[in-house]
């Protein structure tokens, strides 16, 4: 099961963590990359993860549409709005748009990159 981490931290906490990470790198220590999507507040998360975007992500994860047009039909929204919301979900790593294998089309298939979301407040 793939889980996407959504982490809420203050800017200062994130800066401190990045400095520690960089210092370990400079000292030649082995470090794991910082994983997850970082936000400063619940409000910032809500601006990104709207009800419509959550609905899209769930539809992609559960119903596995073959194209953006099919997804738009599934959620009863217009193509342009769905495409715009998908761009944001792609940007934060929840969804990927892939060309279907063996099909000659410009259509892209939305793929969920996570089975669940995990929220962490630091």
Residue range 94-117, pLDDT digits in tens:
999 998 777 777 789 999 999 999
Mean per-residue pLDDT, 12-40: 81
Say which DSSP state 98 is in. Answer: E
Average pLDDT, whole number, for the chain? 89
- For the domain made up of 3-121, the CATH class stated in words is mainly alpha
For 97, the enclosing helix (H) or strand (E) is: strand 95-98
Cβ atoms of 89 and 57 within 8 Å: the answer is: yes
Residue 72: is it exposed, middle or buried by C-beta count within 10 angstroms (0-12/13-18/19+)? Answer: buried
| pTM passes above 0.95 | no
Task: Taking the CA atoms of 67, 73, 74 and 75 in sequence, report the sign of the dihedral they define.
Answer: positive
Q: Exposed e or buried b for every residue in 80-114, given b needs 16+ CB within 10 A?
A: eebbebbebbeeeebbebeeeeeeeeeebbbebbb
Domain boundaries, the chain: 3-121
């Amino acid at each position: 099961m793939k889980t996407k981490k959504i982490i809420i931290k203050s800017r200062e906490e994130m800066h401190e963590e990045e400095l520690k990470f960089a210092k370990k790198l400079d000292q030649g220590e082995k470090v794991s990359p910082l994983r997850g999507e970082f936000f400063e507040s619940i409000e910032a998360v809500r601006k990104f993860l709207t009800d419509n975007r959550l609905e899209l992500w769930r539809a992609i994860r559960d119903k596995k549409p073959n194209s953006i047009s099919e997804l738009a039909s599934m959620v009863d929204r217009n193509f342009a709005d769905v495409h715009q919301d998908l761009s944001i979900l792609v940007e934060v790593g929840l969804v990927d748009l892939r060309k279907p294998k063996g099909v000659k089309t410009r259509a892209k298939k939305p793929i969920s990159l996570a089975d669940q979301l995990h929220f962490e407040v630091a």
